[in-house]
A and B are shown apart, each in its own frame.
Chain A
Amino acid sequence: AQSVSQHNHHVILSEAASLELGCNYSYGGTVNLFWYVQYPGQHLQLLLKYFSGDPLVKGIKGFEAEFIKSKFSFNLRKPSVQWSDTAEYFCAVNANSGNTPLVFGKGTRLSVIA
């Protein structure tokens, strides 16, 4: 069975600081990888996704993530965070074959302070 680990439960950053949120997954086969964001009081929205090809994926709002197959990782990055990035971030994975639903990590809460 697949599993997803997000190492940081809560991250606090000042505006303009750089962000990196860790995500590791366990699965032996080919996977699809996602980062979703949940702004306060809102529902989940897709930030970016990786299916195949270039392992560096660019998403909305200046976010990017890099798939490193050898490390089973898909870390999320942003060079300069803004107050409006305050949200909860979820990494998710599913197997790239058959009928397998998404498995989500526990989430990382990001608080950006002025």
Chain B
Amino acid sequence: NAGVTQTPKFRILKIGQSMTLQCAQDMNHNYMYWYRQDPGMGLKLIYYSVGAGITDKGEVPNGYNVSRSTTEDFPLRLELAAPSQTSVYFCASSYPGLALQETQYFGPGTRLLVL
């Protein structure tokens, strides 16, 4: 298993540009998550999904959109990039069942710089 994969690893955007951060998992996990990690701030949940076609906002959803058309993929979309979105983005997934009690498996992260 590849686990949780993320692309790209690093990206520089200009203010106002848009991009999609890709996340895929091959573990048949129902639950998937997007976090951002800022220095000294820990991880903040952006969006999560409990299954294909279902998404929910996390703590910091403004400026982002997600979709979940398949179990495997959970892309994160930035429509109008702002400097405040400079961060490291982590995707995670967890087992089905009592999903939020289960371990989350994290991807390697995408480092985004908005200038």
Q: A residues touching B (Cβ–Cβ < 8 Å)?
A: 4, 6, 9, 32, 34, 36, 42-46, 49, 51, 90, 94, 96, 98-107
Q: Which residues of A contact B41 (CB under 8 A)?
A: 106
Q: How far is the CB of B59 from chain A (nearest CB, A)?
A: 8
Closest to A102 in B: B104
Residues of B within 8 A of A9 (CB): 40
CB of A42 within 8 A of CB of B108, answer yes
With a cutoff of 8 Å between Cβ atoms, the chain B residues found around residue A90 in the complex are 42-43
Known: A9-B40, A104-B43. A99 touches B109 (CB 8 A): no
Interface of A is mostly: loop
B43 neighbours in A (Cβ, 8 Å): 44, 90, 104
Instruction: Give the docked Cα–Cα distance between A32 and B43 (Å).
Output: 17
Contact A105 B48 (CB under 8 A): no
Q: Are B106 and A43 in contact (CB under 8 A)?
A: yes
> Looking at chain B's contact residues, is the secondary structure mostly helix, strand, loop, or mixed?
strand
Docked-complex contact B106 and A96, CB < 8 angstroms: no
Residue B33 at the A interface, CB < 8 A? yes
Nearest first, the 7 A-B pairs at minimum CB distance are: A106-B42, A44-B106, A104-B43, A104-B42, A43-B106, A43-B108, A46-B103
Q: Whole-angstrom distance between the alpha carbons of A103 and B58 in the complex? A: 10
Bound form: Cα–Cα A105–B48 in Å: 18
Question: Which B50-94 residues have a C-beta within 8 angstroms of A?
Answer: 50, 56, 58-59, 90, 92
A94 to B33, CA, bound (A): 14
